[in-house]
Structure 1
Amino acid sequence: MKSAVSITDPFWTTYTKLIRKEMIPYQWDVLHDNADISIEKERDDNGIPSEKSNAIENLIIASGQKEGNHYGWLFQDSDVYKWLESAANSYLLHPDENLLEMMSEVAVLIEEAQDEDGYLSTYYQIERPDLKFKRLFESHELYCAGHLIEAAVAHYKATGSKKLIDVSQKLVSCIQQHFGVEEGKIKGADGHQEIELALIRLYEVTGKEEYVELSSWFLKIRGEDPDFYLKQLVENKKEGLSTGDFPHIDLKYLQAHKPVLEQDEAVGHAVRLVYMAAAMAEVAAIKNDEKLFSTARKIWDNIIKKRLYITGGIGSTVRGEAFTFDYDLPNDTMYCETCASIGLLFFAKAMMKNEIDVEYAEIMEKMLYNSIISGVALDGKHFFYVNPLEVDPKASAHDPGKSHVKPIRPSWFGCACCPPNVARTLTSLSQYISDIFENKLYIQLYQDFEGSFKLEEQSLSVSMTTELPYKGKSKVSFTGIEHPITVCFRLPAWSSGYNVHNAGEYVSEQDGYLEITIDLDKTIEIDFELPVIEWHAHPSVKDNFNKVALQRGPFVYCLEEEDNGSDLHLMSLTDKPLAVEVNDPVLSHYVGLKGKGERQLIDNTWQKQLYQSDVTPVTEEMDLSFIPYYLWANRSIGEMRVWVTRQ
């Protein structure tokens, strides 16, 4: 089964090749505990398991092939499932017999690990079968089920094999036996949303509407009874299944503090929130559920207008990997988890299924070119869990409150959700290029691609070649046109203007799009201007007062110690930077920014002083060099910052 859109863009095919050649084999070795690496804790916390992955071993033990104990997080299975999804996506793009064998090995193992009744979650199968579905606030059983389902769908699309679709449907049948409104069934949802999204993917390949209904039910039951999770723990104690004090359950962290339809802001764990909101938008589009979509839109607006980092990151605090409050966007203690940006990408795409709004496309692009690809090093074997906007290695090493802010990408994490999540996302980018909505074709992202589309009862072939992301020219060719169609090209927020050629006379600007009626085969040329933009934050964002963030094209830029020296906080920008082409031995070719700046010097009067009065700052002029944010931390360990003081 081939995708209708095939990406040929050099920028992105570099990543898909990296994933195929480096990331997938590397992660295979890590999951099998065959990689000679050091696994780091994502922050200072002695409770994080980081001796090994053991993810494949857990499945082997659960299948009965050997004796042993479960190791790792309760959700360790999901590392395998996300790896499998990325492998399937990669195989679809580039069939490879070795990769097929690897996927087949994992598929057989998953099938063998599944219980007769369809249940599958290795921790509870190995260690606590008596607690299946009885500690939902933390168990991640349905979270893991969701990732298995999504891997199964990708595997089926890539190989045509229904092996894991059958496993998934058997697992969903088990879930349906245990959850629902009927007497004796569980009336609550997993503490970590994911099954809600996955059920939609399963519906798309099976056509079974019961999966949409179950997804909708899991969404709407959340928060209906705020005491649900506590009641489970009380019942467990009555049955002798647990002892000791009850753990604290933060309902906002779980988005279970009130019914979903009453929620209107982004609270709690960032990944959970955006996975939930994406599922809300997906269900709303299928069921035409106005209330569900309206609620999703409120959450979207709260994130985008008040809680989004300039790079596309979300999550302002390490405590709970969570949102905090409006305009609280600290640069050096934020979380900005890679998985959270991926979830916001899902959310944006799902919203586009309900309505076309150029803002959704702008956010998709912002995350793809900044906060998502920053999560992986150029070698494909080192990763960020957290994507900071300001780093000082001394603070990372010595400030307990900044232990999560890494100055260099580690090889792997005790909680390894992000590395395989990046791989599965970047191998499925074709779905974000375009949309068909109300009989119009929308081009959302400017990348080289070839695609086939059904529009106005005709089959169209569309191809794009572009000089973006660093230069503005794009050509889009249409063939197979038998009668007029309407095509809408996004007018990027980072462009100050454009020229269009060979478009004909039916051209207009509509809500952030260039709308063109095409009545015959042709090639349209669009040339976007790419100025250097100086973004200012809302005055209520305290950390960025009197500072600017630079952007050119889709890239946000940063200062790095490698190019500018240390004490970046003493540097300020004094003029408009210019774009310059750079060929770096490590970073390869990119367009950087060069600008005039000023550095405040630390003169001799400060040698024995912590504080002084009547100080006249001593400064010197300097040249400032900015690199695209996603490239930072690939050359050396040093300081970095996105927001720079503007004189």
Structure 2
Amino acid sequence: MAPKREISIKDVKVDDSFWNGRIGNAVEKAVPYQWRVLNDQEPGAVPSHAVMNFKICAGLAEGEFGGFRFQDSDLAKWIEAAAYSLLYKDSPEIRAALEEAVSVIEKAQQPDGYLDTYFILEKPEERWRDIAHGHELYCAGHMLEAAVALFQVTGSSRLLTVMEKTVNLIRQVFGEGEGQISSCPGHEEIELALMKAYRATGQEAYKELALYFIENRGAKPGFLEEPGFQNASKNRWFQASYHQAHARIREQETAEGHAVRAMYFFTGAADAALETGDPTLKAALEKLWENVTRRRMYVTGGVGSQGEGECFTIDYDLPNDTCYTETCAAIGLAMWALRMLRLEPKEEYAAIMERALYNNVLSGISQDGEHYFYVNPLLVKPEVARFRRDHQDVEPDRVKWFGCACCPPNITRTLCGLGGYIYTRKGDAIYQHLYIGNTGEFETEKGKARLRCVSSMPWEGKAEIAYSGPAGVEVYLRVPGYGENFRITKAGAPVSFTLSQGYARLCPQDGDAYTLSFDMKAQYLQANPQVLEDCGKACVQRGPLVYCAEEADNGPLLNSFTADLSQPPVLETSPLFGGVTVVKAAGSQIDWEKWPANALYAPAPAPTRPASLTLVPYFLWNNRGAGEMLVWMNAR
């Protein structure tokens, strides 16, 4: 039997100068911290109710349901993160917490396999009656992902057994038979979870249910006929497109609706395209990918520009100060990119995955690992954000937790599971997409292969890669689009290679060690002129990192600065944040001391003086207190 194409999460362990601290923070601080929050034991954090809801269902406590109807998913994502954290630290405390979580979930499950604390406690008579907004399938999907993670990392199948019962119930409830519901999830997620479970167990039932939900979306009225959907759809932002149910996926021309739902749906669909080999599904995903990444994505890898409906709007509508760009949506984009790479290794997919991970995803968590952003804007003036209604979703400071806390455990499971994003396999070819230090082991038809990567990214374009294993295994190394003078050497001598869709092909022998390097200059980027808010502006990017200006370094009124594009950005090594590369942008600034006293308006041109801005990586913003921040500067 040929080895599976998917690389196990246990097969790749990150050991990287940039990511070690962040993963270590997640393992040592965020995972235990979030367990306390989920148990309502963290002072100052918004109560979660997530564990208590399960305890009440299990008969271990008394009380009423608390939180949102999808509160179960917070615990599920934490279980997944905690399972992955054991790869880095085999903590008895976290193992005990996982044991406690699984035990209470087992007790909470109903005899027929039903598992959803909101409907068990609040509306038992309305099970499966609000598919549009009930989130039963969404919560089941996250819990199934958690079960797969626990199984893969620890070998324990207890939670997987729980979820097998739940999935069997879902298969009885949904379908085309008499008495079944012909519909699909209101909030996609279970599709990708079912595909994970299929690959982990080989059980065809998981794949069949995933394909049913994917193909059914937009094909039949389904939940669109429910009273709950009919009431919500009176708001223009909550119609069928909000759920990506306005058309079948092969007929969808643009990414519409709720951005997280869309990313999860496209991720599951890409999994399905890989398993079925359906070229029409692959083509549909490529079309949607182009729309998202070339017309509806922020430079930071954020998607979803509008708070109302947490949704995509129209092409090139990318406001900076009111944008939603939910952390979960960027995580979803990275997940989708990974699946597109499994379908077809192309540098552009890896570039977007990298952009999202290093910018919009990382900005969602503070350096201390205990404060979070839900929304990730590209322009902030704190007093405006606190006052104006159209900024109501923008937090000037990260917070300890949210009532709707989908993002914090999502970030933690992403950091602890980062090794799963570095490589994909295609036959006996191994593709390295991210230059993150790691050790990876791969089962191939020719035997076990091993890659060890030591990387200087994202501060320098250099990585050392050593191969051990049988001959005949091909290794493809990504040539980043931003990397200039890409070169590979072995023992100091240049290595020739062929290029394939942005990857350098090597055929290593056991013991071969390579050095790859490329130049990364800080450069100004400008947006398509159809992006109204960025017309006449520029931002700075170096390698995968997008940079921003903060009031902490430059004082207020950042918008009064104009960058001189004829002077390239200058790199500097800074002791900030333990040592980072910052950028200096030269230009001019309005001289406010010469502005007419008490004048709201004055004749042009405004008085200016030479000035420069210090820019820091975007993911680090707001780690020094609230203040102004901007990514896009005026430019000339």
Matched letter for residue 29 of structure 2: E
Between 112-121 and 573-582, report the one with greater CA deviation. Answer: 573-582
Which blocks of at least 5 consecutive residues in structure 2 are unaligned? 1-7
Task: Tell whether 2:273 aligns with 1:278.
Answer: no
Distance 1:246 1:534, change over 3 A: closer
* CA–CA separation in structure 1 for the residues paired with 2:81 and 2:549: 32
- Please tell me the root mean square deviation across aligned C-alpha atoms, in Å: 1.9
Matched letter for residue 144 of structure 2: I
Task: Tell whether 2:578 aligns with 1:593.
Answer: no
Give the TM-score taking structure 1 as reference length: 0.93
Q: Alignment partner of 1:534: what SS?
A: strand
* CA–CA separation in structure 2 for the residues paired with 1:309 and 1:257: 25
Q: How far apart are 1:37 and its partner, in Å?
A: 0.9
Task: Tell whether 2:383 aligns with 1:383.
Answer: no
Task: Tell whether 2:131 aligns with 1:136.
Answer: yes
Identity %: 38
2:347–2:481 contact (8 Å) kept in structure 1: no
Q: Alignment partner of 1:181: what SS?
A: coil
Q: How far apart are 1:24 and its partner, in Å?
A: 1.1
* CA–CA separation in structure 2 for the residues paired with 1:620 and 1:567: 14
Distance 1:508 1:135, change over 3 A: same
Task: Tell whether 2:322 aligns with 1:333.
Answer: yes
Between 368-377 and 426-435, report the one with greater CA deviation. Answer: 426-435
Q: How far apart are 1:222 and its partner, in Å?
A: 1.4
Distance 1:438 1:460, change over 3 A: closer
2:595–2:606 contact (8 Å) kept in structure 1: no
Alignment of 1:250-261 (within 5 A): 250-261=239-250
Partner of 1:233: 227
Partner of 1:49: none
Alignment of 1:420-459 (within 5 A): 420-455=409-444, 457-459=446-448
1:124–1:132 contact (8 Å) kept in structure 2: yes
Partner of 1:490: 478
Q: How far apart are 1:438 and its partner, in Å?
A: 4.5
Q: How far apart are 1:410 and its partner, in Å?
A: 0.9
2:528 to 538, 545, 548: 538
Partner of 1:73: 68
- 1:57-102 per-residue CA deviation (whole Å, 9 max, x = no partner) reads 1111111223321111110011111111100010133211111000
2:17–2:456 contact (8 Å) kept in structure 1: no
* CA–CA separation in structure 2 for the residues paired with 1:18 and 1:246: 42
* CA–CA separation in structure 2 for the residues paired with 1:596 and 1:232: 58
2:489–2:516 contact (8 Å) kept in structure 1: yes
Q: How far apart are 1:344 and its partner, in Å?
A: 0.6
Distance 1:395 1:133, change over 3 A: same
Between 106-115 and 495-504, report the one with greater CA deviation. Answer: 495-504
* CA–CA separation in structure 1 for the residues paired with 2:33 and 2:288: 37
Alignment of 1:164-183 (within 5 A): 164-183=159-178
Partner of 2:395: 406
Distance 1:505 1:405, change over 3 A: closer
Partner of 1:524: 514
* CA–CA separation in structure 2 for the residues paired with 1:607 and 1:252: 52
Q: How far apart are 1:506 and its partner, in Å?
A: 4.6
Partner of 2:626: 637
Give the TM-score taking structure 2 as reference length: 0.95
- 1:97-146 per-residue CA deviation (whole Å, 9 max, x = no partner) reads 11100000000000000000000111100011110000111100000000
Task: Tell whether 2:37 aligns with 1:3.
Answer: no
* CA–CA separation in structure 2 for the residues paired with 1:245 and 1:74: 16
* CA–CA separation in structure 2 for the residues paired with 1:467 and 1:353: 26
Partner of 1:112: 107
Q: How far apart are 1:553 and its partner, in Å?
A: 1.9
* CA–CA separation in structure 2 for the residues paired with 1:246 and 1:287: 34
Partner of 2:198: 203
Q: How far apart are 1:303 and its partner, in Å?
A: 0.2
Partner of 1:27: 34
2:306–2:313 contact (8 Å) kept in structure 1: yes
Distance 1:2 1:540, change over 3 A: closer
Task: Tell whether 2:538 aligns with 1:548.
Answer: yes
1:507–1:517 contact (8 Å) kept in structure 2: no
Matched letter for residue 473 of structure 1: K
Which blocks of at least 5 consecutive residues in structure 1 are unaligned? 40-51, 238-243
Matched letter for residue 225 of structure 2: K
* CA–CA separation in structure 1 for the residues paired with 2:418 and 2:152: 15
Q: Alignment partner of 1:317: what SS?
A: coil
* CA–CA separation in structure 1 for the residues paired with 2:365 and 2:595: 43
1:355 to 332, 338, 344: 344
2:188–2:264 contact (8 Å) kept in structure 1: yes
2:345–2:501 contact (8 Å) kept in structure 1: no
* CA–CA separation in structure 2 for the residues paired with 1:507 and 1:496: 16
1:477 to 451, 466, 472: 466
Q: How far apart are 1:499 and its partner, in Å?
A: 2.8
